[in-house]
Amino acid sequence: MRLVLAAVLVLGTGAAAFWFLSAPDPLAAAAVPTGGDAARGEAVFWAGGCASCHAEPSATGDAKLVLAGGMVLKTPLGPITVPNISPSRQGIGGWSDADFANAVTRGIAPNGSHYVPAFPWTSYRHMAPGDVADLKAFMDTLPPSDAEPGAAGLPFPFGWRRPIGLWKRFAMTDAPPVPDGADDEVRRGHYLAVALGHCGECHTPRTALMAMDPARWLKGAPNPDGEGTTPDITAAGLDGWSAADIAYLLETGFTPDYDSVGGSMSAVIDNWAKVAPEDRQAIARYLQAVPGAP
């Protein structure tokens, strides 16, 4: 009987600890940004690549602003259908500023569940509060869609989202530091690459717990599109490239050798072609400042 009671106590304590440690950690009310500017939010929208995943897969031109979802992302744990995030009932039309900020920077859905990190809140968590508010203001101006994408969910047990709370608490790593001696332009580029552009999501290898490995920041990683790897985009990997070369690629998709990028990077170029030239220059200078061994 004592062994049974002890086992029940241990299991109960473990379950309580799990439930406590995996609980969502939403933003404090005072930290929720409000009153955003839609004009500034458009720049955040393109730098953040929202349309790359949330527009319908066949969308082109202005249709990319209809964030109806439907794309199926391949992940190491299974396929995930990208949701509708247009300002409609099926999307985020009823979301408060707090709902939006918690989703983008904390990976927490309005119902309190955790978002899987295929949604790159793991990078967006470093966004400035003002940029979050501006993004919300711009997205509220976009065309609504009534689309309800089918659900391609993760298989059990990965479809159970509560354990993601433990992953957030114990597996996620800090953002890479700003390079030593960085000027204001490089600091701006650091913010764009780390937070908005979320470059590390594809270009940084993962740890055993599938978090970005800060020791190998931007050193290249398995290609999320399939075979091969994404390139090393540190100073070593871009050896021989000028800042103008990098900025030109972000605008046009062409390398200094007049080759062109493909795969999911082509969608990145579509977005960054709409970003201010000074921001493309800033991110180029930052990449030149990221150390990396050959």
Distance CA 69, CA 82 (A): 5
- Asked whether residue 156 falls in the same domain as residue 89, the answer is yes
Whether residue 227 is found in the same domain as residue 277? yes
The count of structural domains within the chain is 2
Euclidean distance between CA atoms 35 and 112, whole angstroms: 24
Tokens of 236: 């070593």
Determine the pLDDT at residue 293: 57
The verdict on residue 156 lying in a domain is yes
Q: Residue 59 has what pLDDT?
A: 75
In this predicted model, which residue has the larger pLDDT, 116 or 138?
138
Over range 89-95, report the average pLDDT: 93
Q: How many CB atoms lie within 10 A of CB 285?
A: 21
Range of the domain at 204: 184-289
Is 130 in the same domain as 209? Answer: no
Is residue 34 located within the same domain as residue 152?
yes
Whether residue 146 is contained in a domain is answered as: yes
Cα(122)–Cα(173) distance, integer angstroms: 9
Taking the C-alpha atoms of residue 99 and residue 26, their distance in angstroms, rounded to an integer, is 9
13 within domain boundaries? no
Q: Do 35 and 162 fall within a single domain?
A: yes
pLDDT tens column, 181-192: 999 999 999 999
User: Which of 135, 170, 205 finishes a domain?
Assistant: 170
Asked if 86 and 204 sit in the same domain, the reply is no
Does residue 156 sit in the same domain as residue 193?
no
Q: Which of 117, 140, 170 is at the close of a domain?
A: 170
The CATH number linked to 272 is 1.10.760
Q: Is the pLDDT of residue 194 over 70?
A: yes
Cα separations in angstroms, 194 against 126, 243, 255: 7, 18, 22
What are 290's two structure tokens? 């990221």
In a shared domain, residues 71 and 163: yes
Query: Is residue 41 assigned to a domain?
Result: yes
Q: Do 263 and 137 lie in a common domain? A: no
Q: Same domain for 266 and 226?
A: yes
pTM for the structure as a whole: 0.91
Q: Among 141, 170, 199, where does a domain finish?
A: 170
Residue 262 in domain? yes
Q: Is the pLDDT of residue 6 over 90?
A: no
Reported as a single tens digit per residue, the pLDDT across 232-256 is 999 999 999 999 999 999 999 999 9
Residues 129 and 52 in one domain: yes
